[in-house]
Every structure is written in structure tokens, then in C-alpha cells.
Structure 1
């Protein structure tokens, strides 16, 4: 039952992102916007609730499978991306670097004051 509350957190922030994207017509995925808002909320709260952690843990284990449809989609449009490989590689490297830095910053911020070895 604990994970159900965590899924409520995830779905609620996804829906908030969906409403914001619908009302403002910004070109951002509602899932990305919802997770950004969730990250800000968790940073302001100073931690992750146990219910959210219980819901997120099984999803983290499935993360590689959740990424697979995007990888398969790139395979089918590879011909159209022929002249854009430099931009794609730079974007992937920059995106990976920013993701790692953001994760490190968030982890350091959320684990402040905890004695973790």
C-alpha cells in the first residue's frame, strides 16, 4: 500500500505537467516538466518521502526497458539524420554531462546532513 501513495505523487506531477503544457503550449514534454516540478518540490522539502521511494524503486529497475522505444525509433529514421551526426553527438554528450552534474548536485543537496559512507 505504501507504493500506491508514491505512484499518486508521480501521476499527480505528470498531470500537473500535462495541464501546464496544454494551457501554455510550451514545446516541452509533460513528463519532463512534471519530473522537473517534482524535483524542485523534493529539493524544497529536503528529502524523498518513503512512499515515493517505494514506488520509484521498481521503475528504476525497468529504466533500460523504458528507454528502448526511443532507441528503436532512431533506427527507423537513421536515413533522415545523415547530415546531423555532429549535432546529435554533441547533444548527447552535453545532455549526458548535464544529467550527471544535475544528479550529483541533487544527491549532494538531498543527502546533506546524513552520515553516508
Structure 2
């Protein structure tokens, strides 16, 4: 029941994001607005809802499938990229590099124990 409750919380924030985007004519996607509202809610309450945590953990293995529709959608607008391949490739390479570096930095910053404690361990006899 906790997992279902978490999915309902996530869906509720997505719907709130959709309402905010429609009413305020914001230039962001509905899902992104919902995630930003969820972030604000988490920062204000200063606690993580058990259901949201359970639903989020269940979605992590499916992350590649959640990103796939946007990637596939590029093929429908590929003609609009004609003459801009240098900019597209530069954006892809820099975006990927910055994404990987940011993820690495966040992982090292927030993982318990950190990488430094693993490197300084003395070998056991």
C-alpha cells in the first residue's frame, strides 16, 4: 500500500505541475514543473514521505525507459537539424560530459563514507 500511496503522491505533483504550467503559461514541461513543486514541498517539510521514497526507488531501474520517448521523438524532427549538426554535436558532447561530472560530484558528496574513506583503509592481515 505504501508504494501505491507514493505513486499517487508523484502523480498528484505531476498534475499540480500541469495545472501550474497551463494557468501561468510557463515555458517548462508539465512533469518538470511537478518535480519542481515536489522539490519545494520536500524542502519545506524537511522530511521524505515513505511512500514517495518507495515509489522513487521502484522507478530508478526504469529510468532508461522513461527517457526513451524523448530520444525517439528526435527522429520526428530530424529535418529541423539540417545545417546545425556542429551545434547539436557540441551540445550533446558537452551536455553529456557536464551531466556525468555533476552526477559524479553529487555521488561523492552525498554517499555515506565517501570515496576518501575507502581509499585510506589499511589492508587487513
Whether TM-score is above 0.5 comes out as: yes
Cα pair distance change 1:91/1:44, threshold 3 Å: farther
Match of 1:116 in 2: 112
| TM-align CA RMSD | 2.9
Match of 1:62 in 2: 62
2:80 equivalent to 1:84 = no
Tell me by how many angstroms 1:26 deviates: 1.7
Q: Deviations over 1:36-79 (max 9, x none)?
A: 11112212333422211111112111110111122222134323
Higher RCO (Cα < 8 Å, 6 or more apart): 1
Structure 2, unaligned runs of 5 or more: 114-125
Cα pair distance change 1:36/1:89, threshold 3 Å: farther
TM-score (norm 1): 0.73
In 2, Cα distance between the equivalents of 1:85 and 1:48?
Answer: 43
Alignment of 1:9-24 (within 5 A): 9-24=9-24
SS in 2 for 1:73: helix
Structure 1, unaligned runs of 5 or more: none
Tell me by how many angstroms 1:90 deviates: 4.6
- Bigger Rg, structure 1 or 2: 2
TM-score (norm 2): 0.69
